[in-house]
């Protein structure tokens, strides 16, 4: 009996440890990155039709990807779509970010349109300087990907909107509310695997695979997606039955 209790206690401890960074959101090792200003030139403002009912729109309030009237993904309201980080990530059960500089003021000067694709071109800047930035929205079958890239950055953050009912899928992230916490993804989680969903939008996958990636919902109204790479890929994957309800915290 004692051996059984010891075994169960140990298993519970392992399970707790696997989610510990999320439970200790303030000490998760994920830095809170505040979006900067968003400026969009008149040449890039408006709605781009991507085909098969999908579209992307960008203006001073943010970026929205939609399938007809259904929102697939949208960014934080009236703030920069992305930020570029200079620094490093350290392996520390599982990781810890060391951010030396944040370039978060995004200026979009133009949009390039091809069949099934819209590429927004500009810069992401701070008082320390600026980096070339692109945001590419691409249709691939039923999926739509948003790739935010900053040439010369060590990491990129996409500042998503915090949707009500945001939960993990049970594999990469726990299958309950993610609000007010920050979470790391394992490096081997596929860039095509849905890691979270909400009551309002499609499932989301985060890439690229093989780099340190994090999901941060500690700040009300924000879902900040981190990738330690010059680019991050957020893929909206429509699901037949989104989660009903939601706690309205978004």
Q: Please determine, for residue 93, whether its predicted confidence score (pLDDT) is greater than 50.
A: yes
Q: Is residue 230 part of a domain?
A: yes
In this structure, is residue 246 part of a structural domain?
A: no
| Any domain includes 171 | yes
Per the structure, how many domains does the chain have?
1
Query: For residues 83 and 140, what is the distance between their CA atoms, to the nearest angstrom?
Result: 25
Q: Read off the DSSP letter of residue 177.
A: B
Residue 231 lies in a domain: yes
Q: Could you tell me the pLDDT band of residue 240, with boundaries at 50, 70 and 90?
A: low
245 in a structural domain: no
DSSP assignment of 116-135: TEEEEEEEEEETTEEEEEEE
Map residue 199 onto helix, strand or coil: coil
Q: Is the pLDDT of residue 53 over 60?
A: yes
How would residue 100 be classed by pLDDT, with cut points 50, 70 and 90?
very high
Q: Are 155 and 228 in contact (CB under 8 A)?
A: yes
The residue range of the domain holding 113 is 2-237
Domain membership of residue 247 (yes or no) is no
The residue among 239, 214, 87, 230 whose CA lies nearest residue 160 is: 214
- 112 lies in some domain: yes
Pairing of strands 105-114, 38-40: parallel
Handedness of CA 178, 154, 201, 46 (dihedral sign): positive
For 7-19, the pLDDT digits (tens) are 433 444 333 333 3
Residue pLDDT, tens place only, 134-182: 999 999 999 999 999 999 999 999 999 988 889 998 878 988 889 999 9
What mean pLDDT comes out for the span 39-60? 97
245's torsion region: left (phi>0), alpha (psi -120 to 50) or beta? Answer: left
- Whether 248 maps to a domain, the answer reads no
User: What count of residues does the chain have?
Assistant: 250
Distance CA 115, CA 98 (A): 40
């Amino acid at each position: 009996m004692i051996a059984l209790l010891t075994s169960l206690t140990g298993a519970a401890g392992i399970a707790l440890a696997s989610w510990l960074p999320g439970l200790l959101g303030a000490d998760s090792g994920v830095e809170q990155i505040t979006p900067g200003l968003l400026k969009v030139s008149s040449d890039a403002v408006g709605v781009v039709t991507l085909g098969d009912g999908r579209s992307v729109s960008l203006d001073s309030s943010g970026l929205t990807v939609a399938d007809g009237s259904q929102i697939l993904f949208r960014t934080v309201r009236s703030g920069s779509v992305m930020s570029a980080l200079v620094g490093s990530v350290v392996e520390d059960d599982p990781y810890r970010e060391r951010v030396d500089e944040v370039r978060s003021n995004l200026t979009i000067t133009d949009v390039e349109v091809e069949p099934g694709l819209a590429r927004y071109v500009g810069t992401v800047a701070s008082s320390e300087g600026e980096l070339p930035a692109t945001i590419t929205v691409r249709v691939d079958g039923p999926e739509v990907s948003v790739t935010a890239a900053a040439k010369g950055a060590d990491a990129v953050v996409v500042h998503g909107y915090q949707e009500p009912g945001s939960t993990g899928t049970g594999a990469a992230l726990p299958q309950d509310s993610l609000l007010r916490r920050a979470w790391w993804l394992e490096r081997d989680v596929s860039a095509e695997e849905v890691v979270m969903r909400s009551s309002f939008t499609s499932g989301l996958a985060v890439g690229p695979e093989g780099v340190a990636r994090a999901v941060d919902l500690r700040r009300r109204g924000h879902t900040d997606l981190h990738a330690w790479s010059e680019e991050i890929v957020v893929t909206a994957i429509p699901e037949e039955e989104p989660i009903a309800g939601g706690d309205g915290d978004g």
